[in-house]
Copies of this chain bind each other. A is one copy, B any other.
Amino acid sequence: MKHISDKNIIPFNNNVDYCVGTGRMGLALQKEYMEQLKFVQDGIGFSHIRGHGLFSDDMAIYHEYEENDETKVEYNFTYLDLVMDSYKEVGLKPFLELGFMPDKLSSDTQTIFYWKGNVTPPKDYKKWCNLVTATLKHLMERYGVEEVITWPIEVWNEPNLPGFWKDANMQEYFKLFEETFNAIKGLDSRFKVGGPAICGVEDELWIDEFMKFIDGKNLPVDFITRHHYTTKEHTFKGHYSYAELEDPEFRFNNLKTTRKIVDSYSKYAGLPIHITEYNTSYSPDCVIHDTNLNAAYLAHHLSRLGDDTTSYSYWTFGDIFEEKGVPFAPFHGGFGMVANHSIPKPTYYTFAFYKKLKGECIFRDDDLIVVKANDGTLRGIAWNICENKSDEKTVKLPVSIEREAGEYSLIQKIVDESTCNPLKIWHDFGEPRSLSADQIDVLKTAATPLIKSDILISNGNVEFELEINPNGVIYFELMKCNSTPDRGYEYK
């Protein structure tokens, strides 16, 4: 029996809705992409969005041409405007990631991904800085200075991987960072600029060296960024990959270390740390992403992610994503909270549920978290992670909550393998690659939590039992119920 009282307030930094990830900025031109994003914004509502490829050639920003035997530069913001207008329309600010390199500005030909993002340093740092400041200036003109300076700016992505930054050349990255940082602050010192956007490879070394570098140079960096993925090694097969989950504590400790390193530099102690990407698997074809297991694992994760960081941005909101090419099937292990045709995956609900967990945390353990809202409503999330078939069991969680005497409504939203599992329905349809309108309709209906309700009586405590099926996530609300039936009405 879990005893819960709102007399105990527990620190809980719920910043689940600060930022969300997206494949590549150029994909934001797509209709299906925007429909998925609108769906996510209507149902959850993030504040920021971060993705790669702002300067990649499909955005068509950077151009050079010859005139009078001279190479001249010109910028094209036609597509940038379309993308930023679309983000604004759905209530999002960009968390700007500066990268990758326009072909014409690149020092070499190395690319990453199916869509060929150039990952080499600029051939000319002055031209790079001009590109950055010209782009920011344009945005400031179009969207207003006071607005644009609130958009966080991160320099490059995962320079600690040779695939993302040529040779994972640390000194070259520091140079890029410093030049870019100074150029932006020169434009308007109120911009918030950070890095180094690394993932979990040699991360401690990189963070430490980065801190040393900015400390030495006395750069007033505004925040530190890193990534966070929580699966073990992948095996690859055809278009797919498979991976086991890591012990979450292992990765939470990793974050704690990052926090400690940063705080060890007195100038930077307490500096915000943003996780600018996280998910279970880092591979956009890993079957886990479409499962209820993913939803349950993340439900636990989200109860803790803010402990050592300021924010954390789920990678990614939707399934329009081309890093390994265009997926062949609607369920393909993509990062998205929603599959194409805006079919929510179980993980979508983990986010929708945490979005509602605003207020004072009054209980948190490894199965359950409870928050008290301003109006006195209690909201909680419970989960039951069962990675292996053999461990699958339904968990019964008896709960006792101190509440003054009276009637209470208990509303539960239940997402588990039998109530909200579009992946299984799709599988049982025969795994069709093209969905008919009818199949989409069935899948959307299936991708809905089951609702359960009760009226409970408190005599000082409200007692009930949460029954959580394998890989289930349950959201509940407990609120005062003042039943005043209409004249003559008798419910059954």
Q: Which residues of A contact B (CB under 8 A)?
A: 29-34, 60, 63, 65, 74, 76-79, 81-82, 86, 138, 141-142, 236-240, 242, 287, 291, 325-329, 332, 340, 389, 407, 409-411, 413, 418-419, 423-425, 427-431, 433-434, 436, 442, 445-446, 448-455, 481-492
A319 to B, closest residue via Cβ? B78
Instruction: Say yes or no: A340-B429 contact (C-beta < 8 A), given A60-B326, A411-B442, A449-B445.
Output: no
Pull 30 A–B residue pairs with CB atoms less than 8 Å apart, ordered by A.
Answer: A31-B86, A60-B325, A74-B328, A76-B326, A76-B327, A78-B340, A78-B433, A82-B340, A141-B434, A236-B488, A237-B490, A239-B486, A239-B488, A239-B489, A240-B487, A242-B490, A291-B492, A328-B486, A329-B489, A332-B486, A332-B489, A409-B429, A411-B425, A411-B442, A429-B453, A429-B481, A431-B489, A442-B451, A446-B451, A450-B450
With A79-B326, A326-B78, A445-B448 known as contacts, the answer to whether A486 contacts B431 (CB < 8 A) is yes
Say yes or no: A485 contacts B431, CB within 8 Å.
Answer: yes
Q: Which residue of B lies closest to A142 (CB)?
A: B434
Please state if B287 and A489 are interface contacts (CB–CB under 8 Å): yes
Check B411 against A428 for contact (C-beta < 8 Å): yes
- When A and B form their complex, which 5 residue pairs have the shortest distance between CB atoms, in order from nearest? A238-B488, A238-B487, A428-B453, A446-B451, A60-B326
| Cβ–Cβ < 8 Å partners of A481 in chain B | 428-430
> What chain B residues lie within 8 Å of A442 (beta carbons)?
411, 413, 451
A430 CA to B32 CA, complexed, in Å? 35
* Residues of chain B with a CB closer than 8 A to A142's CB: 434, 436
| Additional A-B contacts beyond A74-B328, A445-B451 (8; CB < 8 A) | A63-B325, A76-B328, A81-B434, A409-B430, A425-B453, A430-B481, A430-B482, A448-B448
Instruction: Write the nearest CB–CB distance from A477 to chain B, whole angstroms.
Output: 9
* B contact residues around A424 at 8 Å (CB): 453
Find chain B residues with CB under 8 A from A455 CB: 427-428, 430
Stoichiometry, copies per complex = 4
Are A427's CB and B491's CB within 8 A?
Answer: yes
When C-beta atoms are compared, the residue in chain B nearest to A443 turns out to be: B451
* CB nearest to A452 among chain B residues: B418
B residues near A30, Cβ cutoff 8 Å: 29-31
Residues in chain B near residue A76, CB distance under 8 A: 325-328
Candidates B138, B287, B433, B453; contact of A490 at CB < 8 Å: B287
Question: What residues of chain B lie closer than 8 Å to A77, measured between beta carbons?
Answer: 433-434
Contact B428 A454 (CB under 8 A): yes
Say which residue of B74, B484, B489 sits within 8 Å of A240 (CB atoms). B489
Residues from chain B with Cβ under 8 Å of A81 in the complex: 434
C-alpha spacing A484/B432, complex, angstroms: 8
A357 to B332 CA separation, bound complex (whole angstroms): 33
Across-interface contacts of A487 in B (CB, < 8 A): 65, 74, 238-240, 328
A183 to chain B, nearest CB (A): 22
A490 to B411 Cα, complex, angstroms: 36
Chain B residues within an 8 Å CB radius of A33? 31
Closest approach, in angstroms, between the C-beta of A343 and any C-beta of chain B? 12
A27's nearest neighbour on chain B, judged by CB, is B29
Asked, given contacts A31-B30, A239-B487, whether A413 binds B445 with beta carbons under 8 Å apart, the answer is yes
**Cα distance, A117 to B24, chains bound together (Å):** 22
A123 to B436 alpha-carbon distance, docked (Å): 35
- Chain B residue numbers with a CB within 8 Å of A410 are 428
Q: Which residues of B contact A411 (CB under 8 A)?
A: 425, 428-429, 442
Please indicate the chain B residues that have their CB under 8 angstroms from the CB of A433 in the complex. Answer: 77-78, 486
The CA-CA distance from A305 to B53 in the complex, in Å, is 45
Q: How far does the Cβ of A345 sit from chain B's closest Cβ, in whole Å?
A: 14
**How far is A453 from B430 in the complex, measured between Cα atoms in Å?**
11
Instruction: Tell me the complex Cα distance, A488–B483, Å.
Output: 55
Partner of A486, one of B82, B329, B483: B329
In the complex the two chains form, what is the Cα distance from A445 to B448 in whole Å? 7
The minimal Cβ–Cβ distance linking A12 to chain B, given in whole angstroms, is: 22
Contacts of A484 in B (CB 8 A): 430-431
A483 touching B430, Cβ below 8 Å: yes
Shortest Cβ distance from residue A306 to the other chain B in the assembled complex, whole angstroms: 24
Residue of A79, A325, A450, A487 most packed against chain B (CB within 10 A): A487
CA distance A328 to B76 in the complex (A): 5
Residue in B closest to A453 when the chains form the complex, CB atoms: B428
